[in-house]
Amino acid sequence: MAKPKVLIIENQYFQFKLIYDNLDTNFEIVPKRDPASFKTLMDHVRIALDARYGKDHLEEDSMRKESFDWLMQEIRTFQPNIILMDHILLGYYLANDGITLAEFLRKEEINTPILFLSRTEQNDSRVIKVKSKVSRCEWIHKQLSGHELLSESYCEEVLIPHMHALRTSMDFEEFTQITVALQEELKKMQVPDNYDKALKKIARIKTRQYIESTELEKLRAWYNTLGDRAELDRFMKNFDL
């Protein structure tokens, strides 16, 4: 079975390495662990957020938009199952941050679940703001102070279970949305030969309360053609979740 994919957006390389080493067994990760891959990703993240490189991230012919477009292409190509993001990504308190980036992603219709891993406390006004404004995201504290580093036990006991729980719950939420749309579409057409097979499989997934990534990818492929009768016929003919 393929590993779930995670995109790590972490400001400090030494923390990134610790997170990477503790997730590597369970996840496929971008960026790679080497300094050059980390620097390439984070340079684009920082420029995309920094007003010194353009008045906003969509300003034409600006370095800021160029870096933002690069980042969007990277995410769409990798298609992570979850994004693990730090809160403070630039070096001063009032700068654009991970919350800003999360808002940018949602405006670009990138709805990948986001787990913020940060020293910022849960009761911080910025945390309360992101929970109300950004869909499909959660926030956990690094449980660090000063120059402490993330521990292996913290990753195993807190971070990884939280990532799996968020990913599977959000995947199941998306599955429910898609299957409701699928059933509505089926009502509009003549009943295909494998109509019962499709509904029985959907019912089994609902009963077990989670969906495999490969199953969800197949449903997404159909959902992207919603409203196209020929594509729906083809999808139902090859329904093999």
- What pLDDT digit, counting tens, does each position of 144-181 carry? 654 455 778 888 888 889 888 888 777 777 788 888 88
pLDDT in tens, 51-76: 889 888 888 889 999 999 999 999 99
Helix, strand, coil percentages for the chain (3-state, nearest 5): 55, 10, 35
CA angle 168, 169, 172 (to 5 degrees): 85
For residue 224, pLDDT beyond 80: no
For residue 37, the model assigns a pLDDT of 97
**Residues 6 or more apart from 104 whose CB is under 8 A from it?**
48, 57, 68
Which tokens hold the place of 141?
Answer: 């504290």
d(CA 199, CA 203): 6
pTM: 0.74
Domains of the chain: 5-150 (3.40.50.2300), 176-237 (no CATH)
**Phi, psi torsion values for 151, nearest 5 degrees:** -95, 155
- Are 228 and 189 in contact by the 8 Å Cβ rule? The answer is no
Percent of the chain's residues with pLDDT above 90: 33
